[in-house]
Amino acid sequence: MVRINFENFPKIKQSTQIWCIPASVENVVKYHGGDISQVDIVIEFIQKFTYFKSICFEKVKDILDERYGKNFEFIVKSLSNGDFKTGNDVISYAEDCIKKGLPLIVSMKPFKSRGAHMYTIIGLDDDIVVVFDTNPDVKGYTRMPKDKFIRDLSSDMGTLLIKPKS
């Protein structure tokens, strides 16, 4: 299995039902040694964009670039932009990231509700994808078959990669 260092991954849960992106970003930035909180992200998002329910990777990237661009690179990719043609392309990208020790935040259909939800890919092998879910009701890591993972990618699927700058 290709995986990040599970022991160093923060495992912080989202503070509210709709804060999956900020919580995912908090986990990954802290995994890389940075200092940010989901509250900071939400406050800055509302100050810049007014309406939190319009949150998306691109807008979060704008905020993160402004505040943390000296230390981190933020890369957004999506199906709608043509960055991926199939779910297998997402798997290949995730595998490349994980091999470099970089967790990958991805939007998917939630396991128990509607819309989209963010999960962080932290490991994978030939048949299984391991994700961390910021939902407080989900304990530990979730292991899912790759074919289910691909089926559950949201139709407007995107990824957010956070890389420390050297």
Q: List pLDDT tens digits, range 100-113.
A: 999 999 998 766 55
CA nearest to 135, candidates 32, 43, 42, 27: 27
What residue spans define the domains of the chain? 2-164
Q: How far apart are CA 66 and CA 43, in angstroms?
A: 14
pLDDT, tens digit, 9 for 90 and up, residues 65-81: 999 999 999 999 998 89
pTM score:
0.94
Higher per-residue pLDDT: 131 or 80: 131
**Position 94 pLDDT exceeds 70:** yes
Q: How far apart are CA 21 and CA 154, in angstroms?
A: 15
For residue 42, the surrounding DSSP H or E stretch is: helix 38-49
Q: Which CATH class is domain 2-164?
A: alpha beta
